[in-house]
Structure 1
Amino acid sequence: MTKVRVFAPAKINLSLHITGQLNNGYHLIDSLVAFADIGDWITLTEHGLRELSVTGPEAVPDLSSDTNIMWHAAQKFWSPDRPLSMGLEKHLPMASGIGGGSADAAATYRGLLLLRAAVEGAGTPRDPTPADARDLLAIGADVPMCVLSDPARIQGIGEQITPVPELFPYAIVLVNPRVQVSTPAVFSKLAIKDNPGLDPWPDRFEDRDAALAWIAAQRNDLQVPAIANCPDIADVLSALKRIETCRLARMSGSGATCFGIFERVHLAQAAAEAIRAAYPDWWVRSGRLNGGKQAVPQLIRSTT
């Protein structure tokens, strides 16, 4: 029996510009994304009869059903005649704008490549293929970027990925008001769907303050329509902005999770504690960006 464990980091849209809409309804984006050291954990085992167990503080019964996005990845990247059990240790809230489901599917894909290599004695996983990229995009527009789990500029419907290796690992606080937001409902309230893309990306930034100033000059075009659907988002942003050490507060994705960027980890931790004390019903976590470095699958047990 062989087992693989994979970290599924939260995806943070540091900016999200909606630049158009295709005839099939898909929206075009221009977004700077990064990944936090906050996320879910996936366990894959070559054993059992296609079972998914869900644990963790954000576990809900529906997550263990055969409609879970992790099964979509398993159907495409694991042989149906081979045993497989999956475990999801859920730490990210559902429908929260930080790519929880997409991150889980991406982690499942990465883990299945390693699991297959271990089972077949190949040593190392095969490289991703163009066919993989198409299948991953079919599972969800955010899944390919979550497979990368590194800072990147994302364009098109999510398939155009340009790595941004120099992004500083800022300290962050993530806050969700415990309200699920419907992405289609947010898009339906977006008045203008052909907005300008990101400002030109500099060849280099002088320092992390210059990079943060560039990020602050960008937008999340979904923030205003999301607040119209969920006024609690405005409360979250206000709570972050009231913290004197918060350098930037913005919503991620289509909400309702918002992020605050801080100079140092201890400042982010102190801000998280203050917000948690003031709003005990909210989901609040502190950490760092570039947490996707932890997302490499680990072969944690292999016996015969």
Structure 2
Amino acid sequence: MGVLTTIFWFLVAIAGCLAAGWLFRTGAIAITPAGVKRELRTAPLTASFGMLMILLYILVAIFAPLIAPFPERAVVGTEYMPWNSVHLLGTDNLGRDMLSRLIFGARNTVGIAFATTLLAFLIGSVFGMLAATVGGWLDQGLSRLVDVLMAIPALIFALLLLTIFGTSILTLILVIAVIDSTRVYRLARSVALNIVVMDYIEAAKLRGEGLWRLITREILPNALAPLVAEFGLRFCFVFLAISALSFLGLGLQPPLADWGSMVKENATLISFGDITPLLPAGAIALLTVSVNFVVDWQLHRASGLKE
């Protein structure tokens, strides 16, 4: 009976997610412009659910001080208090409200992951397209440097650099952005190499367009679809990397609320059958799955395939 009950509630959860995705898509179609309506009508229910979850995470991150019942760093009770009417998810190892820290964790973890991914794409895309356009020694030099950096396991490399340079937020963003920019560089260069041989690129060169204008006006618009899809995937990897580093103690430092460190700090409760430490892990997993749902839809659109 236990297995049947688990399967039943699992199916109920899936049905609820699909229903939420359908309601979100219906509402979004009703209030968006005509051009957006056409795109939303093609979105599968999984992508609609993913967009709904991403929107909710963004709203929680923005309005965290208004939503959270207690301040992020305030000690409001004794340690490891059980769930009750005042502390809906209990308290952590220092007596801070878990629900409040879970809400503030959305701002810290997701916000820093987004900033890191944005910087990684800025570095990787610019140098990748520059290498493909200029070619020659610049392409060879940048590509060999990227090959060397990619040969080192990313997590070990990040741990080494953070141990050397410290674990401030700025250092964390720069280290992970530089490491992940190598993956973006390879993709941007590969896509740009297929574009620079096109006739319209030759025509633009004959018109006398400069290097920067050639990249921003001719190459980037035609490389945007795969880069946007990669942005979603890369965000997931960065998000998970920051959470993993926080779990290991080299990510976001206390007293900032971070989902990775919250799992580590409260892992003791799992031994007593308390699922509270799994909630931050669940928040990480839910956002990762939601982003992948939307990315899969965008990749399908970019491929030009029909159902």
User: Larger Cα Rg: Structure 1 or Structure 2?
Assistant: 2
- Please indicate the TM-score interval, normalised by the length of the shorter structure: under 0.3
